[in-house]
Chains A and B, each alone.
Chain A
């Protein structure tokens, strides 16, 4: 490819001579070289051995935009040029984007509207599950015991290991951090109060809820979301099985029943972890530890922990199933909805936990 020196006369413009193979691998340099040639331009294709559509496109767009003349094109090259000319339609490549401030404003508006719609949707979903419950009470034969027991296994039994380990470690951490601070006042013995009250009243249930949200809430969203995509849920509806009764209610019941049991398990494991730490580190023997726990933990602390648990379980299952049922089109959405389900349920759990804390303090359970 070189400029023909013979054709440099005034007014006659330049001749760009192409040779060899004009394909996509040489597209960038060919485009640059053509752009550097002055008008009026003649393109000589007589030396071209082979050409692909990208090469043809480069020639075609020079002809289109700069009125260049093409000489010496072979039959094959001519046909390629015709083809790309035919395919030259105004095709949009990028989505239209409005600029800067307007876009921020629009996204903000969309976000607010989305949040409102989600809230209303969650409320609607809550209503649908209540109707489902009512129907089940009217016709108890439709109660799916097997499905619920299977969920008990998945949500509850299989979570025992990880929740137990997590709680045990949290017990140790609380004991360790507490004893370091309390030692400064010579009040290590109060480490037991700290472990007992914080795990029973707050942390046992809260950490269990976070773990269940991450483990089961996400699974609910992903399962139902995938079933939406594969049209299993539509198939259920057409057969006459209500997806709320068959899928949502077993998960809700399983979470509501399993959460207090798991929370109790978590509390015991935390106390165990803390007890082992104070025994080994501060030298308080287990028997003293247990006696002291009985003295410092009021019974209502346990009630507070266990009353919150089923409520959290309900929120987690509701958010998970709700997000799963919102999935519509593609696999990416399943991932997105699963994330949203976990974030939403942990957020709601913590908000409710704060409400409970204020409520129980104000009724005198201090």
Chain B
């Protein structure tokens, strides 16, 4: 296991996490550190508990044991009012967007702002919603549309606009490119990368998409055997001889993604900063 870099300023710290559903243990003694300003990719086979890990970090799933600290505050057994102060500092994009289906895209973006800043005047609120929508790469006519009228790619972008509504420091993305065509997926990768750089975000990204890993992740955490078996840049991971990691990155799809990344002249695993 490769630890965090020396100059790491931890923004998420998970220690000794244990999660289980009935008899089935999902995580056992799981440790993970996410550093400020990085894009951390989380990979793992289906059913290894990637989403459960994200849910425990954001407080939707109460772990059996262990400690989770986000932005320097522990997330276990927090009082709802105290937790709110942390919640407004992060944004979350759920796998299927989780847009409120009875609200328009613009209203969806306004929900978190209204919740925390009810006294903003209507016009400023609309202006904020409209530049967030534009920043997320949605077309100008998307604002008044309802989620059921949007395509899969647009739902993800609208979800991202809502996640960015409060200018978060920390962004959680659960399989942002799943179900998108390769062109939209590449566009979404680029969008995340550029937003991350410009808004100085820290991104916790769950993905199955090898292209995404090569294109935008600074470090990758591998989930297997109920814990994080390794965290590091892709070259660092490739140097390990864990069978799952080798299979994952050196399989046909892994090689194809590596080739694409090389052709694009990207520094594999480099921070790009």
* A residues apposed to B, CB below 8 Å: 23-25, 27-28, 31, 52-54, 57-58, 61, 79-80, 83-84, 86-96, 329-332
Contacts and interface: CB of A to CB of B under 8 A. Distances in A.
A79 B194 CA distance: 12
Contact of A53 (B126, B148, B199): B199
A79 B198 contact: yes
B106 A93 contact: yes
A141 to B, nearest CB: 40
Contacts of B199: 53, 83
8 contacts: A24-B167, A28-B124, A61-B127, A88-B131, A88-B134, A93-B126, A93-B130, A93-B143
Contacts of B141: 92
Contacts of A28: 117, 119-121, 124
User: Main secondary structure on chain A at its contact with chain B?
Assistant: helix
Given A27-B117, A80-B198, A88-B131, 11 more contacts: A24-B113, A24-B166, A28-B121, A28-B124, A53-B135, A53-B199, A79-B198, A84-B131, A91-B106, A91-B129, A91-B138
B56 interface: no
Contact of B127 (A23, A24, A57): A57
A31 B121 contact: yes
B102 interface: yes
Give chain B's interface residue range (CB within 8 Å of chain A). 20 to 34
B104 to A, nearest CB: 7
B198 A332 contact: no
A91 B104 contact: no
B147 A330 contact: yes
Contacts of B130: 89, 91-93
B142 interface: yes
A186 B169 CA distance: 84
The 10 A-B pairs with the shortest beta carbon distances in the complex, nearest first, are A91-B130, A52-B167, A87-B134, A95-B144, A329-B148, A93-B106, A87-B131, A87-B135, A93-B143, A92-B143
Given A330-B101, A332-B101, A27 B124 contact: yes
B133 interface: yes
Nearest to A25: B117
B128 interface: yes
B102 A94 contact: no
B273 interface: no
A265 B198 CA distance: 72
Interface string B18-45: 0000000000000000000000000000
B143 A91 contact: yes
Interface in B101-160: 101-102, 104, 106, 113, 116-117, 119-121, 124, 126-135, 138, 140-144, 147-148
B140 A91 contact: yes
A91 B141 CA distance: 6
A54 B128 contact: yes
Contacts of B113: 24
A25 B131 CA distance: 18
A27 B144 CA distance: 24
Nearest to B118: A28
Contacts of A94: 104, 106, 126, 143-144
B134 A89 contact: yes
A293 to B, nearest CB: 54
A28 B127 CA distance: 13
A27 B119 CA distance: 10
A298 to B, nearest CB: 54
A88 B134 CA distance: 7
Contacts of B106: 91-94
Given A24-B167, A25-B117, A92 B134 contact: no
Contacts of B121: 28, 31
Nearest to A328: B148
A83 B135 CA distance: 8
Contact of A93 (B129, B147, B148): B129
A92 B167 contact: no
Contacts of B126: 93-94
A129 to B, nearest CB: 28
Contacts of B102: 332
B159 to A, nearest CB: 15
Given A24-B167, A329-B148, A330-B148, A53 B124 contact: no
A87 B131 CA distance: 5
A31 B125 CA distance: 12
Given A23-B167, A24-B166, A27-B124, A91 B117 contact: no
